[in-house]
Amino acid sequence: MADLNPKSLNKLRVVDLRGLLSSRGLSTSGLKAELIKRLREAIRNSEEDDAEIPMQNPGELMDVDEENVEDDNQSTDEGDPLEDIQEAEQDDKSGEEDMIKADEEAKRRADEEARVKAEEDARLRAEEEARVKAEEDARLRAEEEARIKAEEEARLRAEQEARVKAEEEARLRAEEEARVKAEEDARLRAEEEARAKAEEEARLRVEEARVKAEEEARLRAEEEARVRAEEARQRAEEEARVKAEEEARVKAEEEARLRAEEEARVKSEEEARLIAEEEARVKAEEEARHRAEEEARAKAVEEARRRAQVEARAKAVEEARLRAEAEARAKRQRKKPG
């Protein structure tokens, strides 16, 4: 602590100043000038305390008193008890004085801290008031700027509306002029169209008369051509009718001839068919008769063969029966006694 020179504190940083104040239990808030002032006062107070006799701790005093009491107890046999009591009272009085001085020192430090705290509070209040005032000034400036901006916007809107109104009036005038001009143009076009229409109608009437004359001439020519064509058609029809009648007559005769030939052919074919059928029928009957005779003959032969077989079988059976009877009779005769 004695190494610090109050004149060299300006060279220290704020961090170093606050570290020194914190090590002494002092406030570390404030600007650098306040920190230097506070540290100089602490150094000056410390130098004054070093010049005085260091105050002992009350606990140490009590320890010393206890040691003295123990020494007194140990040396009771050696000294006078009254002197020991007086010495103890004197020691108690010096301890009380030391405690009073310690209380005064603590009170002085508390007053110093209260003063520093009051100064810090005053500084903070001043800063807060300055901040509030700055905010109020900023708010007023913002309101003034907003008002100026609103007035400027209103002026610009008024100018814009006036400009728009002037443009609208100019546009309406231009539209009115354009409408008048368009009406004049329309009237002129209507007159021109009416004149052109009249000329066109006159031209159409002339053209229609010409077309009508041409149509009448064409119709007369067509009528004459139609009459000539009708006469030619009638002549052609008459010739065609005569030719058709002749062709029909020839065709009828040809058809009659063909029918007669066809009928004769059919008749001859029918007669030939009937003859063939009759011959086939006769032949079939003859064949059937032959087959019947052949079958009857074969049947008679078969029946004769069967009868012969039956007779032969019956004859054989009869012969066998007779032989059996003869054998049986002969056997019975052999069995009779001599």
What is the spatial distance between Cα 81 and Cα 72, in angstroms, rounded to a whole number? 9
Residue-level pLDDT at 100: 81
Handedness of CA 315, 321, 322, 324 (dihedral sign): positive
Residue-level pLDDT at 105: 81
Residue-level pLDDT at 89: 65
Length in residues, the chain = 338
> Phi, psi at residue 247, to the nearest 5°?
-65, -35
What is the spatial distance between Cα 261 and Cα 267, in angstroms, rounded to a whole number? 10
What is the residue whose two structure tokens read 């100026």? 148
Contact between 95 and 55 under an 8 Å Cβ cutoff? The reply is no
What is the spatial distance between Cα 172 and Cα 178, in angstroms, rounded to a whole number? 10
Residue-level pLDDT at 76: 40
Count Cβ atoms below 10 Å from residue 182 Cβ, excluding itself. Answer: 11
Tokens representing residue 136 in the block: 């109020």
What is the spatial distance between Cα 133 and Cα 145, in angstroms, rounded to a whole number? 18
Residue-level pLDDT at 178: 94
Residue-level pLDDT at 200: 94
Q: Checking phi first, is residue 30 left (phi over 0); if not, alpha (psi -120 to 50) or beta?
A: left
- Residues of the chain below pLDDT 50: 1-2, 53-65, 67-79
Handedness of CA 97, 101, 106, 111 (dihedral sign): positive
Among 46, 43, 42, which Cα is nearest to 5's?
43
Residue-level pLDDT at 103: 76
Residue-level pLDDT at 278: 94
What is the residue whose two structure tokens read 């009115």? 176
Residue 65: exposure state from Cβ atoms within 10 A (0-12, 13-18, ≥19): middle
Residue-level pLDDT at 94: 63
Contact between 42 and 50 under an 8 Å Cβ cutoff? The reply is no
What is the spatial distance between Cα 32 and Cα 35, in angstroms, rounded to a whole number? 5
